[in-house]
Structure 1
Amino acid sequence: MKHICWNVRGLGSPRAVRRLRHIIKQHNPYMVFLIETKLDQKRMDRARKSCGFINGIDIEAERSRDGLCLAWKGGIEVTLKSFSKWHIDVLVKEDGIEEEWRFTGFYGSPYLRDQNHVWNILKRLSQDSNCPWLVAGDFNEIMYSFEKRGDCQGTKREWRYSGKH
Structure 2
Amino acid sequence: MKDVKKKCGMDEEWYVDPVGRSGGMALWWKKEVVINAWHSSRNIIHTSMNSTVLDVPDFVTYVYGAPRDEDKEKVWEDLRRIAGGVTGSWLCVGDFNDMVSCFEKFGSRPIDLRRTLNFQRMLSDCGLIDLNFNGAPYTWNNKRLGEAHVKERIDRATANVEFREKFQNALVIHIEPVGSDHHMLSVECEYKHSRVPKAFRFEAFWIEHEDFLKVVREGW
Please tell me the TM-score bracket, short chain as reference: 0.5 to 0.7
Q: How many residues of Structure 1 are paired with residues of Structure 2 in the alignment?
A: 113
- Structure 1 segments, 4+ long, off by >4 Å, are 97-100
Bigger Rg, which one: 2
* 5+ long unaligned stretches in structure 1: 1-43, 153-158
Give the conservation status (yes or no) of the 8 Å contact 1:94–1:100: no
CA distance in 1, matches of 2:12, 2:98: 30
- Normalization by structure 2: what TM-score? 0.46
* 5+ long unaligned stretches in structure 2: 107-111, 123-220
SS at match of 1:117: helix
Alpha-carbon displacement from aligned partner over 1:75-132 (angstroms, at most 9, x marks no partner): 1111111110101111111124688610000111010110111111111110012111
SS at match of 2:103: strand
Deviates more, 1:91-100 or 1:113-122: 91-100
Q: Which has the higher contact order (CA 8 A, sep 6+)?
A: 1
Which protein is richer in strand relative to its size? 1
- Normalization by structure 1: what TM-score? 0.59
Identity percentage of aligned residues: 22
Could you tell me which residue of structure 1 aligns to residue 63 of structure 2? 106
CA distance in 2, matches of 1:75, 1:142: 34
CA distance in 2, matches of 1:99, 1:61: 29
Give the conservation status (yes or no) of the 8 Å contact 1:45–1:58: no
Q: Where do residues 69-80 of structure 1 align in structure 2 (5 Å cutoff)?
A: 69-80=26-37
Could you tell me which residue of structure 2 aligns to residue 149 of structure 1? 103
Q: Where do residues 1-165 of structure 1 align in structure 2 (5 Å cutoff)?
A: 44-96=1-53, 101-142=58-99, 148-149=102-103, 161-163=116-118, 165=122
